[in-house]
Each structure stands twice: as C-alpha cells, then as structure tokens.
C-alpha cells in the first residue's frame, strides 16, 4: 500500500521490461495503474525522486494477453469465445 496524500513529492517509476506493461501513477500518487502490453515478466521500481534510496519493487508476470479484433458487445448473461 502506498502512502496517502503525498501530492507534491516527485515519484519515479522504472520498468525492467516496458514491452510487458505500462505504468501510470494515480491521483495524488496513491496508486499505480498497470496495463499489459505483452506476455512476459517485469520488475517495477517506484522511488522518491528526491531520495532515490527510498523505493519499492514489484514483480509482475503477464501470462497471456487477449485483444479482441473488434469491439465486443455483450448482454447480461451473454457469452463470448476468444
């Protein structure tokens, strides 16, 4: 869990494999939004820019990515196969 209300502090993010995930910091730097880009593994380092020795590291594994070729519309109780 990230610290609360740290708006104004510079937070940096380093990805070991940017072909696997992309990262965006949420409002007030309280959360991370991860989007898968491809299969593989990635280490994510989140650190304070003013004190880079204060950091945390996450390991993320993306086993598969499903991308429908066109928009998929479903009704409640509907079914779709990929």
pLDDT in tens, 63-79: 876 666 667 677 777 76
pTM above 0.85, yes or no: no
Phi and psi at 16, nearest 5°, equal -80, -25
Who contacts 28 (Cβ-Cβ below 8 Å, separation ≥6)?
A: 4, 5, 6, 7
Q: Output the pLDDT for position 3.
A: 56
pLDDT in tens, 8-46: 678 889 999 999 999 988 777 777 888 888 899 999 999
Average pLDDT on 45-72 reads 83
Using an 8 Å Cβ cutoff, are 79 and 67 in contact? no
**What does CATH list as the number for 1-82?**
2.60.40
**Per-domain residue ranges of the chain:** 1-82
Q: Is the pLDDT of residue 53 over 80?
A: yes
């Amino acid at each position: 869990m990230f610290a609360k209300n740290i708006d104004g502090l510079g937070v940096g993010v380093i990805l070991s494999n940017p072909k696997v995930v992309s990262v965006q910091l949420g409002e007030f730097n309280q959360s991370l939004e991860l989007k898968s880009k491809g299969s593989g593994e990635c280490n994510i380092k989140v650190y304070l820019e003013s004190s880079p020795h204060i950091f945390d590291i996450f390991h993320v594994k993306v086993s598969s990515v499903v991308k429908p070729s066109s928009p998929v519309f479903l009704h409640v109780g509907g079914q779709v196969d990929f």
